Amino acid sequence: MHLLVSSRLIAGSALALLTTTSGEAMSAAELSQAVRSAGGDWDAVAGLVQDGSLLDSGMTGTWKADIDFAGHKWAEFSDFGRVRASEGIIGPLHWRQDFSGGSHRLDSEFAEQSTATDLWLATRGYLKPGFGQATLGEIQDRTDEGRSFLVVVATPPDGQPVELWFSADKRLLERTVRQMPISIDTVAYSDYRTEANWQVPGTITETSSASNDSRVVHITRSRFVASLDPAIFSQPAPPSDWTMAGEAISVPIEFDGEVAVQAMINGQGPFAFILDTGGHDILTPAAVAALGIETFGETQSGGAGAGVVSQKYARIQSVAIGGLTLKDQPFAVIPMPYIAVERGSRPSFAGILGLELFERFAVKLDYANRRLTFSPLSTYRHLGGGEQVPIRFNDDMPLVKARLNNIEGDFSIDTGNGGTLVVQHVWAERHGLAETMKQGLALVSYGMGGESRNWASRAKSFELGGTRLPGTILRYAEDQAGSFSSRVEAGNIGNAILPYFTVVFDYAKGDAWLEPTHGFEPPPFGRAGVGMAKIDPSFCLVVVIVPNSPAARAGLRAGDHVIQVGGEPVAALTSFELRQRFAVAPGTTVPVTVLRDGRPVTLPVVLRELLP
């Protein structure tokens, strides 16, 4: 379950709104000279310290930024009292610290390009002669809301393209627009004022096409300095906000599509949580109500699918997982859909344990023995076997190199994905794989962002961690928004594949260790040809029927409410168990009871192989 739960949702507009050039085109040299004359000679600036206020996620706090022009460093700090965050760049190294105090690097190929552009913008590369060695596109005249702009696409050295919008009258930078992995991000600069000999914006507003929220900085003071302490820009060490009864802690897990971990919250529980490498620590509103916890702030979050949901925050006094206790932890509070948290007759999941654990501990996930082991990152040394695989980050999800049909790409390892390998459409189209994948079976799946349409087929080959995995089932997604719409990632590896290995995550060293296990058989593809969503404790909604499938021949229809499968009430079965009922041997008859006109009707579904 890829959850985009971030304390910093940035920027949003649309690239290239108007692309006509009017009048005599201005040359790059002329525009460079014009904006340098308007903005000031920043070549003489060694360092800049800015202070102000910040409105973000429904909270108001203090904001500070430090920029070392000579040393190519940048750092930003926000403090909302109950939570704080920071981010920094030292040359190519880019790190982010979230509300919990944990941090990790942003170091994928895309992230490095984005970082180069971040630093170029922060150090006013657009105010250097010739735009600071950036490659420039054609300069265009554009209008937006009755105002005129001079717009150019600049690609800094080793960087990512960015649209620069200069006001036609004052020649000041008023907007940047960038294509990010799943969004278009816009930063608006306004309220310029003269500080010493330079023009400095007083307000910076960041928005994103992935959210209706905005992040607004009001700068109250700018100080130009000769030097800055290099320690300001260093990545913070993992916080010492935990205790552990021993050198490592091992706890049991449950595994039925999701990895379930038991935890005590503020001494109450235990509560079941999903272990999710793709998410942050999350509590559901129901869990918050049961615990009597106050919430604060308000923003939006998303995941698989195009939708977004509301998000608040809470602080938890203690989170105890076996002999491991974490103190004073921030959690996002998100109304996760019923299908994501239901556990049949057992209490629902209380939420997710995610990035915050992995930023503090080396985490060993042993699917075969149903064990989860935590070791402090500062002392962990891998002594087991397996293939050492570098992990990198675009955002908060670990990425590894893998090969699909002999084509290498960046694939995320997502323990919150209860399914198989999801292939992203931009990457598939780029490598000529999309049309073949769309000849598979049309299906629907659900995530935090709602519905995701996809096609199921089998890979010719899939290789992960030096191991070839035969007959891998693919879900090809053409989502235009949400986590399965990435422009830079190849795919998302879920829990139908990861149990081929015992996996160790070591974020401090930037490694994952994949040790093959013996005897794991991936779950077969469903043999009924029906897609169901358990959206209520008592029934499943039929959302898709594969034409000419066993379900279609039995008379199941999209929109049916299924109340029994195989003679068992839906209320007693998890979504995983329901899928299992349709994955038994071909030729098996599975009775499915639906409500028709308020009366139960039982339909015999005779299973057969649908995905050879």
For the segment 147-200, what is each residue's pLDDT rounded down to a tens digit?
999 999 999 999 999 999 999 999 999 999 999 999 999 999 999 999 888 999
Q: Note the pLDDT of residue 557.
A: 95
**C-beta separation of 505 from 358 below 8 A:** yes
Tell me what pLDDT residue 302 has: 54
Model confidence at 4, pLDDT cuts 50, 70, 90, reads very low
The 3-state DSSP composition of the chain as helix, strand, coil percent (nearest 5) reads 15, 45, 40
Beta pairing, strands 491-493 & 407-413: parallel
Residue 242 main-chain phi, psi, to 5 deg: -145, 160
Q: What is the pLDDT of residue 181?
A: 92
Q: Is 319 a residue whose pLDDT tops 90?
A: yes
Distance between CA atoms of residues 414 and 486, nearest Å: 15
Which of 127-141, 305-319, 341-355 has the least mean pLDDT?
305-319
Non-local (6+) Cβ contacts of 271 within 8 A are 262, 263, 264, 265, 287, 347, 350, 351
Q: Which residue has the higher pLDDT, 6 or 175?
A: 175
H runs (alpha helix) in 206-354:
285-291, 338-341
Beta strand segments in 196-284, E? 198-200, 203-208, 214-225, 242-244, 249-252, 254-255, 259-265, 268-275, 282-283
Residue 464 near residue 514 (C-beta atoms within 8 A): yes
d(CA 189, CA 243): 45
CA 126 to chain centre: 30
Full-model pTM: 0.91
Upper half-sphere CA count for residue 55 (Cβ side, 13 Å): 10
Average pLDDT, whole number, for the chain? 91
CB of 395 within 8 A of CB of 267? no
Q: Closest Cα partner for 318 from 298, 293, 339? A: 293
Q: Is the pLDDT of residue 449 over 80?
A: no
Average pLDDT over residues 520-540: 92
Q: Is the dihedral of CA 217, 223, 224, 229 positive or negative?
A: negative
Give the integer Cα–Cα distance in Å for 392 and 397: 8
Q: Look at residue 41 in the predicted model and tell me its pLDDT.
A: 85
Q: What is the mean pLDDT of residues 351-380?
A: 96
Contact call for residues 61 and 54 (beta carbons, < 8 A): yes
The predicted pLDDT at position 508 comes to: 94
Task: List C-alpha distances in Å: 539 to 143, 391, 563.
Answer: 53, 40, 5
pLDDT for residue 527 is more than 90: yes
Indicate if the pLDDT at residue 6 is higher than 50.
no
Quick check: 9 pLDDT over 50? no
User: What does the pLDDT average to over 319-347?
Assistant: 95
Instruction: Decide: 241 and 328 in contact? Cβ < 8 Å.
Output: yes
Question: What's the average model confidence in pLDDT over 416-420?
Answer: 92
pLDDT tens readout for residues 484-522: 789 999 999 999 999 999 999 999 999 999 999 988 888
Buried/exposed code over 258-272 (b: 16+ C-beta within 10 A; e: otherwise): bbbbbbebeeebebb
Please state the φ and ψ torsions of residue 252, each to the nearest 5 degrees: -75, 155
Alpha helices in 40-179 (DSSP H): 109-122
Q: Is pLDDT above 50 for 531?
A: yes
State both tokens at 188.
């608006």
Evaluate whether 41 touches 316 at the Cβ level (below 8 Å). no
pLDDT band at 301, cuts 50/70/90?
low
Question: What phi and psi, each to the nearest 5 degrees, are found at residue 150?
Answer: -105, 120
